[in-house]
Amino acid sequence: MAQTRGLGMGTHDTQWIVRLTPIAGSSVHDLLRLPLSMDVWERSDAGLVVAMGEMQLAEITRRSLAPVERLYTVAEYERRARQREEPRE
């Protein structure tokens, strides 16, 4: 089950870990200045790896602000991390 955050009125917003790449003519700095809430996990000259909600990703896509590569839901990432931590018998 994907991690969700309530947005009121019964809707939920799946949280994703994604890679955002600047479009031609823009930079990583421009991505960081977007008026959207994102949790930056990794930053390089090539782009960002961030955690953010489905609705915000839809807005980035709709406005063609950056290519979005979905890597995992946050819930899937956490599940995989727990499995790696479990001792092998």
- Ranges of residues in the chain with a pLDDT under 70 are 1-12, 88-89
Structure tokens at 75: 């819930």
d(CA 16, CA 36): 14
Q: What is the pLDDT of residue 5?
A: 42
Rounded to an integer, what is the distance from CA 56 to the centroid of its chain?
9
pTM: 0.77
d(CA 89, CA 71): 30
